[in-house]
Structure 1
Amino acid sequence: MKKDDANNEAKTHYRTIWISDVHLGTAGCKADHLVDFLKAHTCDTLYLVGDIVDGWKLSGGWFWPQEHTNVVRKILTKAKRDTQVVYITGNHDEFLRKFVDYRLEIGNMRLANEAVHITADGRRLLVIHGDFFDVITRYHKWIAMAGDALYEGTMRFNYWFNRGRSLLGMRYWSLSAFAKQHVKTAVNVVSTFEESLAHECRRRKLDGVVCGHIHHAEARRIDGVDYYNCGDWVESCTALAEDQNGQIHILRWVQLDHLNQASPKVTPLRKPVPAAA
């Protein structure tokens, strides 16, 4: 048996995998975890659901360690090995949107602003980053960019704060996740975002949506529409995966307790989390 064949046998294969909000080019990107995830999984179709490269951050200064190059190389390798890769543009990589009209395709890689994915069980899902349905990002970009800078500062605080908690034997705690879940304005913005996407799916007579943008993995039904969010690779290290029966799961690659801490030794969570019925 060839070495490559032996390696492939150890991998988990899915019909489709979706990842979003990787933010290559930023210090918060968990690129090493993503490389490990991509090594451990194969799929027929890989959707990159926006904000894969952070053009906002890179425009202000160059940050691109080897780990970020490794992510790009791993994705290109998958495309070379017959995985169909669809890159959906987001707001942080909006510089790519000007190329969409050229119908850019390189080998098994395709660039688009959105796509419609048909699951194995026949559902039609809109695949879109989601920033077009965020009123702040769409109409008040300066506020969005200021919020992005605040988020980055929060992540830096999280890093040192949780280093201290780790030394005291305490669990990881995310200030940004707490704010999203408990601050009324943030909760209302997220709720409006999700409801707007559900409304758009009903308008187009689609069965559901797969998106990113808000960095919170989710799988639930909203007024009869299947809503799926990929999460991110900055804090949660999550992805979505469709099995051969059309069921979609949230994959949580590492324990949240381990993120943003010094040790690179993490235990992968290979068991998928079932999506909401």
Structure 2
Amino acid sequence: MDQTGAVHNVRALFISDVHLGMRAIRVTELIQFLERYEADTIYVVGDLIDGWRLQKEWYWPPEYDQLAQSFFDKANRGAKLVYLAGNHDEFLRDYLGTYFGGVEIVDRAIHTTADGKDYLVIHGDQFDVVVANAKWLAHIGDWAYNFALKINVVVNWVRRRLGLSYWSLSAWAKRKVKNAVSFMGRFEEALALEARNSKVEGVICGHIHQAAMHHKFGIHYLNSGDWVESCTAIIETHDGAFELIRWKDISAPRKRRRWRRRKDETADI
């Protein structure tokens, strides 16, 4: 992908786990990303809204409305919008099959690629044994995740002053803790099995905030990641190919150039 600011027209776009309501999320980056990508169909693969956090503390800054307007503008220009409810916005499951502002709300969907292959699209919390069987424990995990994000703010403030790149405490913990790694593997395998039982080519999901594309279990598994930390999305090109987009890798060089320019301008003064 180029860094010229050109708009990319794609066949389908999949994003998940934005978590509107949490403070440490990448809404501005997502708005910038949506400005660069136009899609025939946009799938919001769950947890766009974090109802768990909003119940505890109402937090809705102006950029949230700006993001919502970005989606509605795309719908007005002809894009089909499909919203798959997740566990953090599970209240939307009371409205499955309905439309809101041109957005269809569903629990799962089948996406057919340009070359005729079917993919199951689902948030994935239905296959998380903790969410399904011990919701209280899921809420504790959510608290721990938010605590880690708050620590990240301080740690990465220091890292920026030292000229170091962003570092994620939560991602580090997931890599180091064997149970977390095992959970993610079981989650991926469960989604692959569901895709196989649904007689489709693959599955596109979210939920665990780990962007991925692979065929480990004999099924094409795709996870669109999140916009809390990683800023990732899945696109389908017009020839039916899938790509994992890491927005930070695209936008960061331009940001660094702007920072150096401002520094030089200050020096001249």
When the two structures are superposed, what TM-score results if normalisation uses the length of structure 2?
A: 0.90
Q: Cα deviation per residue 1:179-221 (whole Å; 9 max; x = unaligned)?
A: 1122100001100000000011111211100000000110001
Q: Does 2:215 match 1:221? A: yes
Q: What SS does the aligned partner of 1:198 have?
A: helix
1:257–1:81 distance in 2 versus 1, CA, 3 Å: closer
- 1:173 counterpart = 2:174: no
Task: Give the 5 Å matches for 1:99-178.
Answer: 99-100=95-96, 103-106=97-100, 108-178=102-172
User: Which residue, out of 72, 75, 79, partners 1:76?
Assistant: 72
Q: Which residue of 2 aligns with 1:183?
A: 177
List aligned pairs for 1:27-38, cutoff 5 A: 27-38=23-34
- The whole-number CA distance in structure 2 between the counterparts of 1:255 and 1:141 is 35
Alignment length, in residue pairs? 252
In 1: Cα distance, 2:243 partner to 2:250 partner: 18
Against the structure 1 CA distance between its residues 47 and 138, is the aligned structure 2 distance closer, same or farther, given a 3 Å change threshold?
Answer: same
Using the alignment, how far apart are the partners of 1:10 and 1:206 within structure 2?
34
> In structure 2, do the counterparts of structure 1 residues 256 and 193 end up closer, same or farther at CA, with 3 Å as the change threshold?
farther
3-state SS, counterpart of residue 200 of structure 2: coil
**Residues 1:212 and 2:197 are matched in the alignment:** no
Tell me the amino acid that sits aligned with residue 238 of structure 1. Answer: T
Alignment-mate amino acid for residue 33 of structure 1: E
Alpha carbons 1:90, 1:131 under 8 Å: kept: yes
Q: CA separation in 1, counterparts of 2:90 and 2:164?
A: 39
- Give the C-alpha shift of residue 92 in structure 1: 0.2
Tell whether the 8 Å contact from 1:254 to 1:266 is kept in structure 2 after alignment. no
Q: Does the residue aligned with 2:248 lie in a helix, a strand or coil?
A: coil
Opposite residue 76 of structure 2, the aligned amino acid is: K
CA distance in 2 between partners of 1:63 and 1:106 (Å): 22
- 1:166: how far off? 1.7
How many percent identity over aligned positions?
A: 44
The structure richer in helix per residue is: 2
1:56 aligns with 2:69: no
Q: 1:91 maps to what in 2? A: 87
SS of equivalent residue, structure 1 residue 222: coil
The answer to whether the aligner puts 1:193 opposite 2:195 as a matched pair is no
Report the Cα distance in structure 2 between the residues aligned to 1:216 and 1:235, rounded to whole angstroms.
10
Q: What is the Cα-based RMSD across aligned positions, in Å?
A: 1.8
Whether contact under 8 Å (2:72, 2:101) holds in the other structure is no
Q: 1:40 aligns with which of 24, 31, 36?
A: 36
- How far the C-alpha of 1:245 sits from its partner, in A, is 0.9
Q: CA deviation at 1:171?
A: 2.6
1:62 corresponds to which letter in structure 2?
W
1:195 aligned partner, one-letter code:
E
TM-score normalized by the length of structure 1: 0.87
Match of 1:270 in 2: none
Structure 1 unaligned spans of 5+: 1-8, 259-263, 268-277
Among candidates 207, 211, 229, match of residue 235 of structure 1: 229
* Cross-structure match for 1:254: 248
Residues 64 and 207 of structure 1, relative CA distance in 2, 3 Å threshold = same
- Name the SS of the counterpart of 1:38 in structure 2: helix
Q: 1:69 to 1:266 in 2, by over 3 A?
A: farther
Q: AA paired with 1:11? A: V
Q: Which residue of 2 aligns with 1:203?
A: 197
Q: 3-state DSSP class of the match of 2:23? A: coil
The one-letter amino acid paired with 1:79 is: A
Greater Cα offset, 105-114 or 241-250: 105-114
Q: In the alignment, residue 70 of structure 1 is paired with which amino acid?
A: Q
1:127 CA displacement: 0.3
